[in-house]
Copies of this chain bind each other. A is one copy, B any other.
């Protein structure tokens, strides 16, 4: 492994000069800049991230915080897209990433978590799938010890940005598509988790739709659980012309209930997970571009890391929508 020292020697300049061209500092003549760059290329040199992190203290190292222990593995797909989206963008921006699971922070105090992250020279964090029940995370954010970007949740302070897509609009849109062409007078909406940010946003969306189309609307909380959606549908399903769910899994539960009751109504899900293609029923859903959202989160984090102040970033829904799908199998 060639180090910065080798490059300096090879280019016939001082180490600090190499460092300057590496980090795009001014006050380096075009001539030496070129010599240095040539040396870098010839030696196949890549700066040692670790050493840079140690030295600079103002690193581009950040952690991706992913929640794994949720009800079902169906969301692995979403997590993976978050992961790869963030990592690709990180590479593009030359940031350093490490992956952390919620489970690794469990039964740790706030202090321990902070110390752990600092010991890793972590400067920023991107948090996915956060719910209001994650009190330690909330404290972590409030502590403002790190630059943080929260995806699909709304918390903003000096050092914290939120990045989310317009869930209300998305819900409005997909539900509208789902009922297109049917004679619909009322909607059964099965919402997500109590206190969930996306849950509330989506409820706004469906309420707006009901209002615009002058439809009756019943809202039940389904906790993102397939079983609960099933039970709710069993109870109310046959009285409503369409069932709109805040997740695909719940849509599957609802559809199964309908099938069992031998009634047919359109069912609409949310997220567009692969599973939807395998249940053998026709349903509607939206597929979000999670990789893209995640990339935007990294962008925002970089802003924060380079001195930006926390803010609320609402991604245009059009940008993250992959496609509507009528999924049939």
Which residues from chain A sit less than 8 Å from chain B, CB to CB? 1, 44-51, 53-54, 68, 72-74, 76-77, 79-80, 83-84, 87-88, 91, 96-101, 103-104, 111-112, 115-116, 118-121, 252, 273-275, 278-280
Contact = CB atoms under 8 A, between A and B. Distances in A.
Nearest to A109: B44
A44 B115 contact: yes
A119 B49 contact: yes
Contact of A101 (B1, B45, B87, B279): B87
Contacts of A96: 120
A80 B99 CA distance: 12
A22 to B, nearest CB: 12
Given A1-B118, A76-B80, 20 more contacts: A44-B112, A46-B116, A46-B119, A47-B119, A48-B119, A49-B121, A50-B53, A68-B84, A73-B77, A73-B273, A73-B274, A84-B101, A84-B103, A87-B99, A87-B104, A88-B103, A97-B98, A97-B99, A98-B99, A252-B278
Contacts of A279: 278-280
Nearest to A68: B84
A296 B312 CA distance: 43
A1 B120 CA distance: 11
A227 to B, nearest CB: 13
B79 A104 contact: no
Contacts of A77: 73, 76
Contacts of A119: 1, 46-49
B104 A83 contact: no
A41 B80 CA distance: 37
A54 B55 CA distance: 11
A64 to B, nearest CB: 9
A143 to B, nearest CB: 14
A278 B103 CA distance: 27
Contact of A54 (B46, B54, B112, B273): B54
Given A74-B274, A97-B98, A50 B54 contact: yes
Given A111-B44, A278-B275, A49 B87 contact: no
7 contacts: A1-B115, A44-B111, A46-B119, A47-B119, A50-B120, A87-B99, A91-B104
